[in-house]
Amino acid sequence: MGVCVVSMIALAGSLLAVPVLVFTATYFLWPAALIKTYNWCSRWRRGLQVRCVFWGDYRFCYSQRGVPGPCPSLLLLHGFSANKDMWLPIMQYLPERQHVVSVDMPGHEGSSRTGPEDWSIQGQVDRIHQFVQAVGLDKQRFHLAGSSMGGNVAGVYAAQHPDQLAALTLICPAGLEVPRDSGFVRLLKEMKERGEMRPEDVPLIPHTTQQMEDMLKLCCHRNIVLPKQILKGLLASRLPNNDFYSQVLQEILSEQSVRSLHDSLHLITTPLQVIWGTDDQVIDVSGAGVLQEAHPGCQVELLERCGHAVMLDRPRKAAQLLTDFLSTQDDVQTKKRS
């Protein structure tokens, strides 16, 4: 009996040791894989499924929770060099009944990477329009939300396809001519004037763990302290894409894209919500005033203690604002029908 008990204890110990060893090896040798696993677990906990859909030979990769219902679906467009998982912190606070779709923008993560014609703002708008048709979101009006570059795309999309939208939310959107330039924008303008847009000098395209840490400080108001191995993992997942990010940045800073949202403001008729962090160091919060001046009836929410990455700094508040705005617009439409 004693030998049996000892054997069982030894077996249990060995079984417990295996996942510990796997975690330890992954943490030190393949930190990028650990981050992918974490994101997979986060999606699973939030009830999200990753799917792919094709438009011709073009592949869109996206996450989805729930199915379309009486409440408008919510389509989320992420920012430059991010992916669909950028929205995970917000999704945990959205109502479970809400049908949510988060797509990888053209060339990012799992969506097809073709050429510069798809990376300009108009090119991205055209591809998102294809995605909307491919997954059937165009069968009824939906709520479109975009952050930063995704906000630029969302705004231009609303200007060109107003009949498809129930509501529009722009979160720290790019593509505006703002009264005050942030330090980041001034740096980009100086580099562009000198003709020296070197990827290694752009704070949003890190090449070292220190630059990765600096990028987080630039985008977030709250101090995010990560272990060095996690920073290595984040960097390792980005490094193979840095050339692509550089090309995308050149496209969205080109003459035809850099003011895309600003030039489309007069065409936006969809009910508009603006969310902006007062401590945004990437795109100055004065841009919110530009949107309010163009659309006096829009709902503007300025979040204290919040930077450019609203979904990291204030995820619960952002989710609440999205939900309340959509509910308000739904009530308005119900009254009109009655």
Query: Kind and range of the H or E element at 167?
Result: strand 165-171
Residue 148 annotated to the active site: yes
Residue 99 annotated to the active site: no
Task: Determine contact, residues 108/175, Cβ cutoff 8 Å.
Answer: no
Burial class of 136 by CB neighbour count within 10 A (0 to 12, 13 to 18, 19+) = exposed
- CB-based contacts of 229: which residues, under 8 Å, 6+ apart? 27, 28, 31
Q: Which among 102, 111, 147, 148 is annotated as catalytic?
A: 148
CA distances, 284 to each of 174, 217, 268, 272 (Å) = 10, 15, 22, 19
Residue with tokens 């790019």: 174
Beta-carbon count within 10 A of 239 CB: 15
Q: Which among 280, 284, 295, 313 is annotated as catalytic?
A: 280
Residue 308 annotated to the active site: yes
Q: SS3 string of 34-83?
A: HHHHHHHHHHHHCCCEEEEEEECCEEEEEEEECCCCCCCCEEEECCCCCC
Query: Kind and range of the H or E element at 274?
Result: strand 272-277
Task: Determine contact, residues 53/60, Cβ cutoff 8 Å.
Answer: yes
**What residues act catalytically?**
148, 280, 308
